[in-house]
Every structure is written in C-alpha cells, then in structure tokens.
Amino acid sequence: GGNEYEYDRWSQYKAFYNTPDADREYVLYWEKMVKEMKWLENHVLKDFLEVGLYDLSKPWNDN
C-alpha cells in the first residue's frame, strides 16, 4: 500500500533531522521568530494602530 512510502519518509526524517543539533536549531529559530514578532507588535503595529485610531477620531469634513 501507500504506507510504505510514508514510513520510509518518517524513517529518513528520524535518521537525519531528529537530532539534538536539529532540535536546538528549531528552538533557536522559534525563539528568534517570537522575539521579532513581539518587536513588530511593540513598534510597527503599535504605531499603525495609533495613527489609525487618530484618523478615526477626527471629525469627517464634507467640504
């Protein structure tokens, strides 16, 4: 059946990627991503939301 192919792929994954070094790289990658997302939230998104809320608070001028 088709399960042999998936089993072979899983075996390859375990043999080549399931190592302490690969696990460490994975954790370091996600730590970096979380840090960058927090920076974006605190700087870029915050400024964007403040400008957007300021624009919404201005009265509409139909002239």
Q: What is the pLDDT along the chain (63 residues), one digit of tens a residue?
A: 567 777 788 888 888 788 899 899 999 999 999 999 999 888 887 777 776 666 666 666 554
CA distance 27 to 19: 12
**Host H or E run for residue 3:** helix 3-16
What's 51's DSSP letter? Answer: H
Q: What is residue 16's predicted lDDT score, i.e. its pLDDT?
A: 79
CA distance 17 to 37: 26
> First vs last Cα of the chain: how many Å apart?
72
